[in-house]
């Protein structure tokens, strides 16, 4: 259980184009999903928190108009990188929070999407 998928697993695009990445929780419902970015040999940096049916909460320094997040259902969140530039090239990872009856909710991660902007 607790499987999260991402699509595509990798994408190459030209500078100035937009790219959409999908994140799905396959066997559970997730009211909250998260989007992270990871540069080589660095840890995960939270970009935004996505709540189903409401606007995403972005971390400081993350451009809302550049990284559009939509969480339309309890199993799907999308991240659209608009007008991508080479500096947006990175490894994008989503996670979904599985609610439990315990003290906290555990985040389960997708396999990641490698974005390369030429």
* Position 101 contacts another protein (CB under 8 A): no
Contacts of 61 (CB under 8 A, 6+ apart): none
**E strand spans, the chain:** 4-7, 10-13, 19-25, 32-38, 45-51, 57-58, 67-73, 76-81, 90-98, 106-109, 113-117
* Position 34 contacts another protein (CB under 8 A): yes
Size of site (CB under 8 A) for another protein: 26
- Name which of 14 and 104 has its Cβ closer to another protein: 104
* Position 104 contacts another protein (CB under 8 A): yes
Q: Which stretch binds another protein (CB under 8 A): 13-21, 62-70, 80-88, 89-97?
A: 89-97
- Give ∠ CA 77-115-88 in degrees, rounded to 5: 95
Q: Rounded to whole angstroms, how far apart are CA atoms 118 and 111? A: 23
Among 84, 90, 110, 115, binds another protein (CB under 8 A): 110
* Position 43 contacts another protein (CB under 8 A): yes
What is the binding site for another protein (CB under 8 A)? 2, 4, 6, 32, 34, 42-44, 46, 49, 91, 93, 95, 97, 102-112, 114
């Amino acid at each position: 259980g607790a499987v999260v998928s991402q699509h595509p697993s990798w994408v190459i695009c030209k500078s100035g184009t937009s790219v959409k990445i999908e994140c799905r929780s396959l066997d559970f419902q997730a009211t909250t999903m998260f989007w992270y970015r990871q540069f080589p040999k660095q840890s995960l940096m939270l970009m935004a928190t996505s709540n189903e049916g409401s606007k995403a909460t972005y971390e400081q320094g993350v451009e809302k108009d550049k990284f559009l997040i939509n969480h339309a259902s309890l199993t799907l969140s999308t991240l659209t990188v608009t007008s991508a530039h080479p500096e947006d090239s990175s490894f994008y990872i989503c996670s979904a929070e599985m609610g439990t009856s315990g003290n906290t909710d555990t985040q389960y991660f997708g396999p990641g999407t490698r974005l390369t902007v030429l």
